[in-house]
């Protein structure tokens, strides 16, 4: 076997609370992760050249060493004490900076897929430890099941109840920086933080809307008919729905430049196929 093609799922944060800042600068959070059927596609190929190549359909800005997938392969090489060489091609369908975990899902897929393709024999828990060093959401995507998460997002307990809700995702075409929004959260007074935690399902919603006033106006308008939420630190906003006809009215209210996607919940990640 010389190559492997895998699907990397996106996630929604059905809720997200920031509980505090740790001495290492990371933040303690509490969240409910839900996998959805929106996927990036990844092809991993063995190569005879002594290099790691990472290419996407979005061009040079996130290719090569700029991509978290490159770091994932390097971390695997360091862990097993032997160089791994491969060519990786990624078709990005999950928006960048959208709060849907696309980069983390890609990193998880690279760790799982390469472990499988090269027969490295690493366990799920070993891969999760490597993943945690790459990013807070990576362990969840290796875990591959809907979960409640705490710590920095790495302490996971499986959500047993299966969701049958459908989701409408709206992509406002702005890039949200997770680092920037955590920094803005830290700048808030204790009283403001506590007030947000009591009032909001997602701690970052007021901060996101404050920064993006044009989105705030549309968000408030949309919320007259539906209950929209923010995923992660944004910029994707989403709502659960049962009736497609009712949601058609909502679509008429969104700006023409916004993209949208109808998604369904996954019970588990397709990446679990490649884990022992």
85 close to 47: Cβ distance less than 8 angstroms: yes
Q: Kindly state the DSSP code that residue 159 receives in the 8-state scheme.
A: -
Determine the distance from the C-alpha atom of residue 203 to the mean position of all C-alpha atoms in its chain, rounded to a whole number.
17
Annotated catalytic, 187? no
In sequence order, what DSSP letters do the residues of 160-174 get, joined into one string?
Answer: -SPP--EEEEEE-S-
Q: Of these residues, 40, 71, 137, 229, which one is catalytic?
A: 137
Residue 203: how many other CB atoms lie within 10 Å: 26
| Token representation of residue 152 | 């920095």
Residues near 210 by beta carbon (within 8 Å), at least 6 away in sequence = 216
Residue 162: how many other CB atoms lie within 10 Å: 10
Calculate helix-pair angle for 102-117, 68-80, nearest 10 degrees.
40
Q: Of these residues, 11, 40, 71, 229, which one is catalytic?
A: 11
Annotated catalytic, 11? yes
CA dihedral 224, 225, 227, 232 (to 10 degrees): -80
Instruction: Decide the pairing of beta strands 155-158 and 229-230.
Output: unpaired
Q: CA 56, 136, 206 angle in degrees (round to 5)?
A: 95
**Which residues share a beta bridge with 6?**
42
Residues near 25 by beta carbon (within 8 Å), at least 6 away in sequence = none
Radius of gyration of the chain (CA): 19
Active site members:
11, 137
């Amino acid at each position: 076997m010389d190559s492997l093609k895998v699907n990397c799922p996106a996630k929604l944060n059905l809720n997200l609370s920031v509980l505090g800042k740790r001495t290492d600068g990371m933040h303690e959070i509490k969240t409910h992760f839900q996998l959805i059927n929106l996927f990036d596609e990844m092809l991993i190929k063995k190569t005879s050249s002594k290099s790691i190549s990472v290419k996407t359909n979005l061009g040079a800005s996130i290719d090569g060493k700029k991509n978290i997938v490159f770091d994932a392969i390097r971390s695997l090489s360091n862990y097993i004490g032997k160089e791994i060489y491969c060519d990786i091609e990624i078709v990005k369908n999950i928006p960048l900076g959208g709060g849907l975990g696309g980069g983390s899902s890609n990193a998880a897929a690279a760790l799982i897929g390469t472990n499988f393709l090269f027969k490295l024999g690493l366990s799920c828990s070993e891969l999760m430890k490597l993943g945690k060093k790459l990013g807070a959401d990576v362990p969840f995507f290796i875990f591959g099941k809907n979960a409640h998460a705490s710590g920095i997002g790495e302490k996971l307990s499986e959500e047993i109840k299966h969701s049958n809700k459908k989701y409408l995702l709206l992509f406002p075409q702005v890039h949200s920086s997770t680092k920037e929004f955590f920094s803005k959260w830290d700048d808030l007074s204790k009283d403001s933080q506590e007030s947000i935690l009591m009032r909001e399902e997602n701690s970052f919603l007021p901060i996101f809307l404050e920064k993006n006033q044009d989105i705030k106006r549309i968000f408030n308008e949309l919320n007259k008919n539906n209950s929209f939420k923010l995923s992660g630190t944004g910029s994707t906003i989403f709502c659960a729905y049962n009736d497609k006809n009712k949601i058609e009215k909502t679509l008429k209210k969104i700006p023409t430049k916004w993209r949208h996607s109808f998604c369904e919940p996954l019970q588990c990640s397709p990446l679990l196929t490649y884990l022992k």
